[in-house]
Structure formats: C-alpha cells, structure tokens
C-alpha cells in the first residue's frame, strides 16, 4: 500500500482504556486543521454501542464521528472500518465498513475475524487515501497496545502503527493513579522494533498546579528516553464519555439546576450520546439510575437505547424498577423513551429471530412491556439504519434531524384520542397525554435532543409544569456547542502540549 500522503501518520496510544485517547485524537485533529493541514481521523477497530450513522447509511463509532467533526469533515464509515457492538453475552455484532456482517464470540473472534478485519481496515485506509491524498492520518489505538495474550492478533494498535510507520503519542491518565507504572510498564512490554515508534508521552487529567509534576516529568524522560510533550489539566467542561463505563464517573454537579431528569443506565445501554445536549443545558441536571436504585420523583425520566432491549427490560422487572416507573407515570410523571426505550414503553414485544439475545425458545414468546404506550414491537432480521430529516408534530410542526438504528418495527394497536403520532411520518414515535400534565413520549429518532429549538420546547413544557419561566427557544443545535467544546479542548492542547516534535519533519 502506498503512503497516505507526504505527512507522516500520527497515532494516539493509551496505557489502558479510558485514558482519553479519543478526545486527545480529536484535539490533535482540530489543532492540525487550524494549522492548515487536512487531518484524517481513523480507528481500525472500536468496541462500542455508542454509534453514529453516516450519510451512506452505515454504522460507525460516535467517537470517530466526533473526530471527523473536529477535522472539519463529514463522518464516514471508512474512518472506523470495524465496529464491534457488544451484546452482553460474550458476543458482539460485527460491523465492517458500516454494514453488519455477523455475530462473533469472544472465544473465536480472532480466529474467525482477523483476516476479514484486516481487509476491512485496508479498504478503509484506501478510501481515506482516495478522498484526500494530501491529508494526514490521525490514528487512535484501542485499550492497551501491550495485551500480551492478544498482541499476535492485534488489529488496531501496534500492527497498524508498524504498517504505516506512524509517529505514536502514548497517553496516560494520572487521575487513575500509578501513572509512572502505567508508562514504564507499557514501554517495557514493547518489542525492540515497536518502542522506537513512541515519539512522545502525554500526561492527561492532572489536577492542581502542573509545576508539581516537573520532577516526575524529568524522571520519566531520564528513565525512558522519551520526551514528555505535555501535561493536560483536568478539564471541567463536560465532554462526551468514550464508553458506557465512563458514565459511572459522571456526577451531578449542577447545584443550581432547576430541572432534574433521571436517565436509566441500562446494562446494555446504547447511543448514550443522545443525552449530551441535555448535559450541556445549564438548568438541567441528569441523574443516572441503575436497576436496583430508587427512581425518586424527577421532573422527567428518559429510557435510552439498548443493544438488548428484552434482556434489559427483564432486569428492570426483576429489580422492581419497572413497577416504580409505572407508579411514577400514574403520578403524572413525564417519560421519554428513545429506540429501545420506546419499545420498552409498549404493551408487548416479539423477537422471533432472537435478535435481542434471548435463547430461541424464549424469543418466540411475546414479552410484556411497561404498557405505557399502546404499541406492539416486532424485531425483524433486517436493520433500519438511516439519517433522517422529518417534521415533528409536537409541540408544533417543525423540522428536526437525527438518525435511526433499529431492528424493531412498532405499530399502534389501540388508537385512542389521547395518543398522537409524534412525527408526520408514521410509526417513528408517539406522544400520549398521560395522568395530569404528564406525557409519555417515545421515538426511534436518535439525536432528537440535538435539535436546539425542539429541545428547549420540551424543556419548557417541563418548566411550565413547575411554574418556572420559559427559556429562550432561540437556541442553536447542539452541533454548535459540540464544536465550541472541541475548540476548548484544542485550546488546552495547544497551551499545555508541544506537538511540534511529533508533527515536524
């Protein structure tokens, strides 16, 4: 394969998962863009249920979509040629270049999927090369690059770095503790041909005065012979979590919030980036509720997407949370379900092809939903994956954008006067005036809260129920706020990190 361009590829590796690789790669992309370069974000393989749909109707990881926006590009599946979507039973759905190609078990993945995966990665790289032969690849690794039991089948870390002769930045998270052991241990496990690829170290999420780490920086440089290019501070701004584990670290920090929204942290939660626009609302506080915890009396409850709707619904039932939700609805609570959350709100669900992970004999039986919307859902073998622009009926007719990723097809089975189609297009969502002023809303449209005008209309409906003054609806879409956050991240990177040794010829 020819070189992507005359610019050497850069690669962001991490000492473990969750150290900030995705956001550091996004920041580097924005910095390169500011310097007049054409960054091309790429992650060979990502494991995530937080997905995005590109313009061609293909699935990719949301983190690579974020990096595309940081690069001033429209996301495309070539930037993430392998997406593994965990199903929670040691299996994952395998997405190659945007399309679902099968189900893989953890035990046989590397045996059965390594060669097809490497082919997909090569195709993704070529597609990016063809799109801009003057661009610079900004690659993101996955997890740790030195998992010794997996290195011989590594698709997206050192194999790719060697293949492209990438200049690698190793990121370590000091917030987790043991940063010296993280770095020295990682470097010790590299082979003699791999270690020279590491051109710089980056310490991430440092609290307090960075001068306190000067002696640590000197020690690392003397011990490893690799320069510490910078120490990134712990940023207070809310950035999108890299995976569902990061949701556990989110704390409710808005002491002066006026609206409290509970979000179910489902065991198989998916597309939790749907909630980012609400996290960014200054008057809204999100509280994440897990099965087994008390729901309380929030101003609204959101049931997000799920990779395993029926299994997560069963866990809600077994934990008693389903009954709490029904009681909350009868008290006039406001409930909003997205995709799998919409399906759970229905009367019944049927999964004849065991799409949702139930064993086949159980999947043939219809499951009971929360019975808060009079709809029935059938799970089909084919999947709807599409970007959408459509008109919403409530609270007024306006255009909204989003995307769909779902096997389920839901239909209305009791058309009473209280329930209305949420969109002009049928069977994509419903709204039911429930008890008192409460509303039960469900939709298949991911990204609904990205629409600034509509989001504020929904929040104002909640505020009206509390006799709070309305907020301005002259609110930009979340994409503008997201872009501003990327700029803040890039500003910090330029202030605290010297990328020149990594970038310069």
CA-to-CA distance for 295 and 122, rounded, in angstroms?
A: 47
In this prediction, residue 2 carries a pLDDT of 45
CATH code for the structural domain at 251-477: 3.40.50.880
For residue 297, pLDDT over 60 is answered with yes
Buried residues in 118-146 as b, exposed as e (16+ CB within 10 A): bebbeebbeebbeeeeebbbbbbbbbbbb
Q: Put residue 125 in one of left, alpha, beta given phi > 0 → left and psi -120 to 50 → alpha.
A: alpha
In this prediction, residue 467 carries a pLDDT of 97
For residue 215, pLDDT over 60 is answered with yes
Residues 6+ apart with CB under 8 A from 17: 142, 143, 144, 242, 243, 245
Whole-number percent of the chain with pLDDT over 70 = 93
Tell me the per-residue pLDDT of 327-362, one tens digit each, with 9 for 90 and over.
999 999 999 999 999 999 999 999 998 888 665 555
Identify any residues that bridge with 350 across adjacent strands, giving them in sequence order.
378
CATH superfamily assigned to domain 10-238? P-loop containing nucleotide triphosphate hydrolases (3.40.50.300)
More confident site: 250 or 219: 219
Is the peptide bond preceding residue 395 cis, with omega within 30 degrees of 0?
yes
CA 102 to chain centre: 21
For the annotated catalytic residues, the residue numbers are 339, 446
For residues 85 and 100, the answer to whether their CB atoms sit within 8 Å is no
For residue 29, pLDDT over 90 is answered with yes
Burial category of 151 from C-beta neighbours within 10 Å (exposed 0-12, middle 13-18, buried 19 and up): middle
Q: Put residue 164 in one of left, alpha, beta given phi > 0 → left and psi -120 to 50 → alpha.
A: alpha
H/E stretch holding 117 reads: helix 109-131
For residues 258 and 468, the answer to whether their CB atoms sit within 8 Å is yes
List the one residue out of 259, 260, 310, 261 whose CA is nearest residue 87.
310
CA-to-CA distance for 148 and 150, rounded, in angstroms?
A: 5
- pTM (2 decimals)? 0.94
Domain ranges of the chain: 10-238, 251-477
DSSP-assigned letters across all residues of 315-346: HHHHHTHHHHHHHHHHTT--EEEETHHHHHHS
Tell me the per-residue pLDDT of 187-200, one tens digit each, with 9 for 90 and over.
999 999 999 999 99
Positive or negative torsion for Cα 414, 295, 332, 269? negative
For residue 1, pLDDT over 60 is answered with no
For residue 240, pLDDT over 70 is answered with no
* Same CATH fold assignment for domains 10-238 and 251-477: yes
Tell me the per-residue pLDDT of 405-436, one tens digit each, with 9 for 90 and over.
999 999 999 877 789 999 999 999 999 998 88
């Amino acid at each position: 394969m020819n070189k992507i361009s005359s610019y050497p590829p850069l690669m962001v590796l991490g000492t473990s998962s969750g150290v900030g690789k995705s956001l550091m790669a996004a920041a580097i992309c924005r910095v390169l863009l500011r310097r007049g370069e054409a960054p091309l974000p790429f992650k060979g393989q990502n494991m995530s249920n937080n997905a995005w749909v590109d313009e061609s109707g293909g699935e990719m990881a949301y983190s690579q979509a974020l990096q595309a926006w940081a690069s001033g590009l429209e996301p495309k599946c070539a930037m993430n040629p392998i997406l593994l979507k965990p199903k929670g039973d040691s299996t994952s759905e395998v997405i190659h270049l945007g399309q679902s190609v099968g189900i893989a078990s953890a035990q046989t993945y590397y045996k059965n999927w390594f060669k097809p995966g490497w082919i997909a990665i090569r195709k993704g790289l070529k597609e990016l090369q063809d799109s801009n032969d003057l661009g610079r690849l900004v690659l993101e690794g996955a997890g740790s690059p030195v998992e010794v039991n997996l290195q011989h089948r590594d698709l997206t870390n050192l194999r790719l770095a060697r293949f492209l002769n990438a200049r690698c930045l190793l990121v370590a998270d000091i917030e987790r503790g043991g940063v010296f052991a993280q770095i020295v241990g990682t470097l010790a496990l590299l082979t003699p041909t791999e270690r020279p690829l590491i051109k710089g170290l980056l310490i991430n999420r440092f609290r307090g005065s960075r001068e306190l780490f000067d002696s640590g920086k000197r020690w690392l440089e003397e011990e490893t012979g690799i320069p510490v290019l910078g120490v990134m501070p712990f940023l207070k701004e809310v950035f999108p979590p890299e995976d569902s584990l990061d949701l556990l670290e989110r704390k409710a920090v808005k002491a002066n919030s006026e609206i409290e929204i509970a979000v179910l942290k489902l065991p198989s939660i998916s597309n939790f980036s749907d909630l980012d626009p609400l996290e960014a609302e200054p008057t809204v506080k999100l509280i994440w509720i897990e099965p087994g915890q008390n729901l309380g009396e929030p101003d609204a409850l959101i049931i997000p997407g799920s990779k395993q709707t029926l299994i997560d619904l069963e866990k809600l039932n077994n934990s008693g949370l389903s009954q709490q939700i029904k009681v909350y609805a009868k008290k006039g609570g406001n409930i909003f379900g997205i995709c799998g959350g919409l399906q759970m709100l229905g009367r019944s669900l049927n999964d004849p092809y065991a799409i949702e992970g139930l064993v086949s004999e159980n999947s043939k039986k219809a499951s009971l939903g929360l019975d808060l919307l009079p709809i029935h859902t059938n799970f089909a073998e084919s999947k709807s994956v599409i970007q959408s622009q459509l008109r919403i009926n409530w609270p007024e007719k306006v255009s909204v954008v989003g995307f769909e990723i779902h096997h389920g097809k839901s239909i209305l089975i009791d058309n009473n006067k209280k329930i209305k189609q949420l969109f002009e297009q049928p069977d994509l969502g419903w709204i039911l005036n429930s008890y008192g002023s409460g509303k039960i809303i469900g939709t298949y449209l991911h990204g609904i809260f990205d629409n600034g005008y509509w989001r504020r209309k929904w929040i104002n409906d909640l505020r009206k129920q509390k006799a709070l003054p309305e907020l301005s609806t002259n609110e930009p879409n979340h994409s503008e706020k997201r872009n501003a956050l990327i700029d803040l991240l890039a500003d910090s990177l330029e202030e605290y990190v010297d990328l020149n040794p990594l970038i310069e010829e």
